[in-house]
Amino acid sequence: MSKHWIGHHVARIALAAGTIAASFTALPAMAETFPHELGKVELETHPTRFAVSNWSLTESLIALGIDPVAIPEADGYRAWVVEPKLPESFADLGSRREPNFEALRDANPDAILISTEIAMAHEKLSGFAPTFVYSIYNTGSDEPAIDRAETLLRNIAKLAGKPDTAENVIASVNARIDAAATRIRDHVGDDARFAVVRILDDAHFRIHGRTSLFGSTLERMGFANAWDGDVNGWAFHNGDVSDLAKMGDVQFAYVLPIAPTTQETLFGSAIWKAMPFVRNDQVYAIPSSWTFGGLLSAARFAELLADAVTGTDADTDANASVSGS
């Protein structure tokens, strides 16, 4: 169903030429239609004041140089997503699952961006401003998350009237990923197989599949994902120690944070110490990276993985390259 947000207006222009006056009616502005996952919206002008329902939408707007006017769970964003940094001023929308409608109204957005997890609230949110549904995750698609993140960025950029900016961001992200891949390849070779895991406790693990953000970033880097088993709608597998053992001698990357008690129990266990990747010193701690992020989260993950595998960071490598040239 199409929602028309077109304000028709008629302007009367009086032109005086001696004693003769004529009135003219201005034509309405040209409208543009923007499709999204639940329909389409017609707008006369590009929105500038965006409210967002999750962090992938938040980081995508900021990547385009647009500061959202309303953001949910800002402290969580700062802890998990980290970069890009949030603007200094914005309305707090509360929970990502249950946005605060009073705060949303006060923020006075001219567009609202949401994803599938709260798509059921689309009609209610549309009462505040034109609402668009753009999703990367849990869509029922087998398309790699990093590809869907590109599509989402392009959709938002078109809506905001900044399509060229989206292409610049995509090119920059791909360059960052390629550079990180080269650093890793120089260290572990072309045929390295990676497992990317979140350690939930000493017996349970979230293992990222090929189409997850981390898995699809690995694939774009040219590396194989060690996990080829079943995944859920978010493209990860809730596994146990036996699943880790099945992957064999891999490059094992686990994403922080991990509870200190869990780390002590797991890393001190005999079964953990028997894992081939532990015995071969192929275990890497990745600083906090957002599993369900957008393109900038993908680039950040690639660079942090390269930092961990090589034992350096991108700035150190760049400085070494300059000093050695």
141-194 confidence digits (pLDDT tens) = 899 999 999 999 999 999 999 999 999 999 999 999 999 999 999 999 999 999
Is the CB of residue 64 less than 8 Å from the CB of residue 160? Answer: yes
**What six digits make up the tokens of 314?**
């991108």
The pLDDT tens digits of the residues spanning 231-269 come to 998 999 999 999 999 999 999 999 999 999 999 999 999
Q: What is the DSSP string of 75-118?
A: HHHHHHT--SPPPS--EE-B-SSSB-HHHHHHH--SEEEE-GGG
Identical fold between 31-135 and 189-319:
yes
| Domain regions of the chain by residue span | 31-135, 189-319
The confidence score (pLDDT) of residue 313 equals 76
In the numeric block, the tokens 């698609």 are attached to 141
Question: What is the arithmetic mean of pLDDT over 54-61?
Answer: 98
pLDDT given for residue 98 in this prediction: 92
Contact 234, 138 (CB under 8 A): yes
Q: Is the peptide bond before 260 cis (omega within 30 degrees of 0)?
A: no
Average pLDDT estimate for 263-288: 96
Q: Per-residue confidence at 9, pLDDT binned at 50, 70, 90?
A: very low
* Topology, domain 31-135: Rossmann fold (3.40.50)
Query: Could you tell me the pLDDT band of residue 323, with boundaries at 50, 70 and 90?
Result: very low
Q: Quick one: pLDDT at residue 312?
A: 87
| Angle, CA 180 vertex, CA 174 and CA 184 arms, to 5° | 140
Domain covering 189-319 in this structure, CATH number:
3.40.50.1980
Residue 131: per-residue pLDDT? 98
Range with the lowest mean pLDDT among 14-18, 34-38, 258-262?
14-18
pLDDT of residue 145: 97
Q: What is the pLDDT of residues 92-125, one digit of tens each?
A: 999 999 999 999 999 999 999 999 999 999 999 9
